[in-house]
Amino acid sequence: MDSRINLRIYELHPHEDNSPSGLLDIAKKCIIENDSNPNPEYSMFEDDEVWIVLDTDKDKLESRKPQIKQIRDFCKNQNNWFVAQSNPCFEVWLYYHHSSEKPVFENSDKCGGWKKIVNESIKGGFDPRKHPLYIEEATRNAENNFDSLNDIPTVGSTEIFRLSKNMLPLVVSKVKAIKNELNTQ
């Protein structure tokens, strides 16, 4: 929606570490210039931001918890690096595109439960072609339902509204124009 937003999805190779720490290491290699990495793939400009978007998926050994803490600590010590975490999964953010209340349902701490509730609460399921137009609503709903404990979003909470709030000024006029156009058709 705006040329100032450049989003790159990194395609993970089969041999690469897809743990939270492994993904942070990949981001560092792509962005941070240092003696061992003199030519990173991307150069950061003064107003650029890096957002690490994480789920709180539980693994058998609970190995992700210390990794997420490590990522949070790293980002706090970097200029314009941020974390947006969803608990338990990204579908929490999708849910808030059409719902203003935190749902209460069995297995709300499991990703499968959220996938099911998103498909049930949004007619036809989440559609990435049209539902991003509800970014303002999703931001407001997610922020109004946000709660955390020790820097970790509680179940049913997502920090993605923080990323969204930073993007909204860049896209809000275009979102409103598209919505107005759709309403007049």
37-89 residue pLDDT tens: 899 988 888 888 999 999 887 777 778 889 999 999 999 999 999 999 999 99
Mark out the alpha helices in 40-110 (DSSP H runs): 64-76, 91-95
pLDDT of 123 > 80? The answer is: yes
Q: Choose among 180, 175, 178, 147: nearest CA to 161.
A: 147
Query: Rounded to an integer, what distance in angstroms lies between the CA atom of residue 119 and that of residue 43?
Result: 39
Instruction: For residue 83, give the H/E element and its range.
Output: strand 81-87
Instruction: For residue 120, give the H/E element and its range.
Output: helix 111-121
**Whole-number pLDDT of residue 1:** 60
Sign of the torsion angle spanned by Cα atoms 94, 9, 167, 56: positive
pLDDT of 7 > 90? The answer is: no
Phi first, then psi, for residue 89 (nearest 5°) are -155, 175
Sign of the torsion angle spanned by Cα atoms 61, 62, 68, 73: negative
CB-based contact 121:98 (threshold 8 Å) = yes
pLDDT of 106 > 80? The answer is: yes
For the chain, the first-to-last Cα distance in angstroms comes to 21
Local confidence band at 2 (pLDDT 50, 70, 90 cut-offs): low
Give the DSSP letter of residue 132.
G
Instruction: For residue 171, give the H/E element and its range.
Output: helix 160-184
- In this prediction, residues 2-31 reach a mean pLDDT of 85
Query: Rounded to an integer, what distance in angstroms lies between the CA atom of residue 60 and that of residue 29?
Result: 29
% residues pLDDT > 90 (the chain): 57
